[in-house]
Amino acid sequence: MEDLSPTPRSTVGRGSARARADRSELHAFLADALVAHLGVVVDGDPVVLPTAYALAVDGPDDGGTLYLHGSVAARWLREAPARTVCVTVTELDGLVAARSGFHHSMNYRSAVVQGTARVVTDPAERALALDAIVDHMVPGRSATLRPATRKELAATAVLAVPLRESSLKVRSGGAKDDPSDVARGGWAGHVPLRRSAGRPVADDDVRTGVPDDVLARAAALA
């Protein structure tokens, strides 16, 4: 399955010139970004919460799977199962200063995934998903850690959201000013923004050096 936006619901409406239809581009973006915003409906009202996630390109769903986790006591997780959720992942890439207020904008990449969340119950898939969420933060780290305890697993809910209904929008570059504003002169352009990492900070109780996985993660984001 190569095309995004296969259903009317996930078809990008406004700004469709910014929509991308390449699933590998969606996967690359989701591998690069760090935070998702999960939307669920609770008592008829929308609730949007930030959360960590992991991408499983070869997950159980055609087109890939997003894994999210949370406390079994969290209301949004109790409400989410077997309901449609919306998972939106956005990275801000710049501020666009135009010659009119109307054409001010932001450069960004944003994926919107709609689908029915499945509560993962299979122990092997749960373990894979939880490791993937740790490795999404710090690649390779899960292999260096002790296995999860029974108590930790019992306290953790894992959700799988299929990537089948997804869209990716990308805006980049400068302002799209009206010709009459360009003719009047004046400055327009953009301020590039990116995420940057500082040096790893050890906890007070640490007696060993920073491990390679954490160093590599910080260097990749530096």
Residues 193-212 that bind its own copies (CB under 8 A): 193-211
Q: Name residues whose C-beta falls within 8 Å of residue 204's C-beta, 6 or more positions apart in sequence.
A: none
Distance of closest approach, residue 34 Cβ to its own copies, in angstroms: 6
The yes or no reply on residue 47 touching its own copies (CB under 8 A) is yes
User: Is 82 near its own copies (CB under 8 A)?
Assistant: no
- String marking each residue 112-141 x if it binds its own copies according to CB under 8 A: x-x---------------xx-xx--xx--x
The two tokens of residue 32 are 């690069």
Contact status: 34 vs its own copies (CB under 8 A): yes
Cα–Cα distances (Å) from 76 to 67, 100, 163, in that order, read 15, 41, 20
Q: Any contact of residue 9 with its own copies (CB under 8 A)? A: yes
Stretch in the footprint of its own copies (CB under 8 A) among 23-31, 56-64, 118-126, 184-192: 184-192
Beta strands in 36-101 (DSSP E): 36-42, 45-51, 54-56, 65-71, 84-97
Under the binding rule (CB under 8 A), the answer on residue 66 touching its own copies is no
Regarding 146 and contact with its own copies (CB under 8 A), the answer is yes
Q: Are 112 and 85 a contacting pair, CB within 8 Å? A: no
Q: Does 5 bind its own copies (CB under 8 A)?
A: no
Strands of the 36-42 sheet, one edge to the other: 19-20, 165-171, 105-116, 84-97, 36-42, 45-51
**74 part of the interface to its own copies, by CB under 8 A:** yes
Instruction: Give yes or no for residue 185 binding its own copies (CB under 8 A).
Output: yes
